Copies of this chain bind each other. A is one copy, B any other.
Amino acid sequence: MTNTETVTADVLPKNVNGVAVDDLAKTVDAIKATPAIAKFNFRIRNQWLDAAKNSSTVDTFYGAGQERSRSKPFVLEADEPPVLLGSDTAANPVEHLLHALAGCLTTSMIYHAAARGIQIEEVESALEGDIDLHGFLELDDNVRNGFQGIRVNFKIKADVPDEQLAQVCHLGTGHSPVFDSLTNGVPVRVTAERL
């Protein structure tokens, strides 16, 4: 990628796009020295409340060689709008999925731009995805339950010439864990036991 290679640690500024790029370089060096610290395990716990309402608690995770936790757990809610028989107290699960995708593409872009010394001033994105309820409602076996397609449009204000705008965007798609998970699929094992 022309003009977007990772610069070496000794010439890195301390902070680009709010990202401590010196710490990012140290993380890369630490993983090269001790590959096992690259392994992360993320977790949530969810509880059904009523109808379409449920709530997740986000707290602990494993990473960089040790168990970690937040000072206070984050709580994420889900519901459905009335047309989908919910009470509309929170975004629904597929909207949360779009948020996960937007957030991950954006952070991946910002971090990898920072590592290359590319200053980003503003990033906005609009996402949309199509679902046909013939799948969920078992009315047509040829219609999938999930998103048929998702479209993401980024608006970026950055210190790059026009021809590099797509390359900056590719820093997101080329590194994002959620983009990879969603476009290439993930093996999900589901088990159930009696409460």
Contact = CB atoms under 8 A, between A and B. Distances in A.
A31 interface: yes
Main secondary structure of the interface of A (DSSP, over half): mixed
Given A133-B40, A186-B146, A103 B54 contact: yes
Contacts of A111: 52, 85
Interface residues of A, number: 127
A177 to B, nearest CB: 5
Given A83-B68, A125-B45, A195-B124, A147 B103 contact: no
Given A108-B136, A150-B187, 7 more contacts: A19-B51, A28-B139, A42-B128, A74-B91, A135-B177, A154-B192, A162-B194
Contact of A107 (B68, B80, B145): B80
Given A123-B48, A146-B177, A134 B190 contact: no
A7 interface: no
